[in-house]
Amino acid sequence: MEDTKLSPMQLFALLVLFQLGTALVVNLGMAAREDAWIAVLCGMLVGCLLFLGYAFLYTAFPDKLPTQYMRLLLGKYLGGLIGFAYILFYMNKASRDLMDGGLLVFASTLKETPLFIINTVMMLTIIYVLHKGIEVLARTAFILLWVVFVIGIIILFLLLFSGIIDFTRILPVLSDGFGPVLESVYRQNYQFPFGEIICFTMVLPYLNNVKAGVRAGLMSVLLSGMILSGTVVITISILGVDIAERSIFPLLTMVGKASIADFIQRLDILVVMVLIIGDFFKIAVYFYAAVIGASDLFKIPYRKVLYPLALIVLFTSITIARTYSEHVKKGGDVLYIMDPLFYVIVPAALIVAALIYRFRFRRHSGT
């Protein structure tokens, strides 16, 4: 482990930017149509429960990385194998998010630039920050979180004053009952982006205040969920369900419609800035979790693992799919089939193992 410590506010900033990340880009919760915002809020509540589970494992082993307490609870070989599976999982997620960010920049601003060049520049920036350590990344997140909030407020006011918001488009509420909402939560909203914070189990051991850090983490999930739900409400109110569902980047489409007196226009660049910042931190945290896990598991110095894994993530991001539709389909398949194993099933098994371990340890200490 690095010899650094993070404050609860730095963790809060990292978590908020991570969760907003690519979630602002996609059609979040659209399986529930007009009730997508409710599905996001329900996913947020499930995300709070998941975070409390991850936090329990952290408080049970506050000075150990997951790759360490996995081997303690499940044995050297099984725990090591599961730890290695998580490393591959985090690298795959980092590659996919790098692809998402590259496609966004390519589609919105740099249409003549090869995707490989865009992804390479993003990856080089991430490597530079992570070479300095997780504390530098967290300090950067704390500063840029304020930038994102300011930009978000500016965009919100411009949308309100442009007169294009029609809240009747989100009505009627629950016209088809709660079934579509629950299906959307099950198939997407609890996992993306809230279940993805499992990679922060690799970051939590660096906190300088355990209780305040857990509270900050829980508050970050609540705030991110409300921001995402509000964004969905405004998106549907401007575009309508059908257009929002068909749009590749609905947030960009929505903001592109804003105009005040034909003078203030083309706010797309503000959205692109927010999305690049969020995607940067999402890739960085996923990649850091993979690097620090590999460093611990294979007993290799952190910085010696950083660069080889960066090359793997970069080239995987280019070869992961041939088209955007294929990229989205593969991501959906993984989300529905593989992700629950890493977000819910394995952590639940580890919680049970930790409770058994604690009971046996206390009984042994008592005798």
Contact 347, 57 (CB under 8 A): yes
Dist CA 164 CA 350 (whole Å): 49
C-alpha neighbours within 13 Å on the C-beta side of residue 332: 13
Average pLDDT over all residues of the chain:
88
DSSP assignment letter at 31 = G
pLDDT digits 0-9 by tens, 58-99:
999 998 999 999 999 999 999 999 999 999 999 999 999 999
Tokens 């009952």 — which residue?
177
Compute the distance between CA of residue 34 and CA of residue 246 in angstroms, rounded to an integer.
14
**Rounded Cα distance, 37 and 231, in Å:** 8
- Cα distances (Å, whole numbers) of residue 227 to 35, 148, 156, 291: 15, 12, 11, 30
Residues forming a β-bridge with 6:
207
Q: Between the CA of residue 242 and those of 15, 28, 31, 228, 247, what are the distances in Å?
A: 31, 13, 11, 19, 9
Q: Is 258 left (phi over 0), alpha (psi -120 to 50) or beta?
A: beta
CB-based contact 197:50 (threshold 8 Å)? yes
**Can you tell me the distance from the alpha carbon of 350 to that of 79, in angstroms, rounded to the nearest whole number?**
10
Residue 209 burial (CB count, 10 A): 14
Residue 56: which pLDDT band, with cuts at 50, 70 and 90? very high
- Which tens digits make up the pLDDT trace of 104-141? 888 777 888 898 999 999 999 999 999 999 999 999 99
Residue pLDDT, tens place only, 220-279 = 999 999 999 999 999 999 988 888 888 878 888 787 776 665 656 567 788 888 889 999
> What would the pLDDT profile of 280-323 be if each residue is shown by its tens digit?
999 999 999 999 999 999 999 999 999 999 999 999 998 887 66
How high is the pLDDT of residue 332?
65
Supply 173's token pair: 């509420």
CB 251 within 8 A of CB 271: yes
Task: Tell me: pLDDT of 336 over 80.
Answer: no
* Residue 122 and residue 280 in contact, taking contact as beta carbons nearer than 8 Å: yes
Which CA distances in Å does 79 have to 74, 199, 209? Answer: 5, 17, 27
**105 close to 272: Cβ distance less than 8 angstroms:** yes
What pTM was estimated for this model as a whole? Answer: 0.94
The identity of residue 176, as a single letter, is: D
Q: What value does the mean pLDDT take over residues 171-183?
A: 88
Backbone angles phi, psi at 265, to 5 degrees: -140, 180
Instruction: Give residue for tokens 């280019």.
Output: 318
Locate the DSSP E strands across the chain: none
Token code pair at residue 281: 């931190």
The CA distance from 328 to 332, in Å, is 6
Report how far residue 126's alpha carbon sits from residue 130's, in angstroms, rounded to the nearest whole number. Answer: 6
Token output for 138:
């967290």
pLDDT of residue 337: 77
- Distance of alpha carbon 365 from alpha carbon 367, whole angstroms: 5
